[in-house]
Chains A and B, each alone.
Chain A
Amino acid sequence: MGIFRRNQNKDQDTMTKLEESARTVEQILANIGIDPVTARMQVQAGYGWNFQRGSALIEVYVTQEERGYLQVLSPIMHLPQTNLLPLYRKLLELNLQLTNASVGIHEDVVYVFNERPLDGLDPIEADTIIRKLAIYADDFDNTLVEEYGGRLYGQG
């Protein structure tokens, strides 16, 4: 019983931490003009929100696996059928320049994203991550599509 009680406490600690992080994220969203309640998503585990920032869709997740993670990502475009090499080069160059964000590809979608453990995460850093990523996503999507082709994520 003692062992179970100890495990129960650990699970409760984890949930508390997740809840704390979720509250922090909702406070950040409110500060940047996003209604956190409207932004909430139904997710299988943890908490999630999504909102529009200009032409970019931003998704924020707080999840728990072995550790807790804050993940902010924005799918910005579908890859074009041609011009891939110059686009891949541009994305790699952008990766060096971005602060607190990276670009990556999964299947045929380009994402701007950031992921970090919840441990040690303070509200100021979370705020910086979400704001910066939203700015990057809104800046890059149209620029990249205009130069390299493809289409904006979610658009026909």
Chain B
Amino acid sequence: MTAKPVKVKITYCAECGYEPQTLDLAKALMYEFGGRLSGIELIPWDSGTFDVTVDGELVHSMRREGGFPESEAVKQAVRSRLSASGTVT
């Protein structure tokens, strides 16, 4: 069974210079999941934001958790989502 590809959105504070962390995370997800992602959307924002959602579920929020996410934690959230919809990762 093929899973529905997963959409990841990263909302980052452009005023805060969070581009390197954003690109590092996007790159890690691209290499890990390739075509199993329907897309990675990068959203420049403000106010110290660094939010990551996987298919609409907030898996990391700088305001909530503090700091940047470990890429492995985000990868795990993507794997869980893919598994839930039927793919073997």
- Bound pair (A, B): no
- Give B residues with C-beta under 8 Å from A: none
Interface residues of A (CB under 8 A from B): none
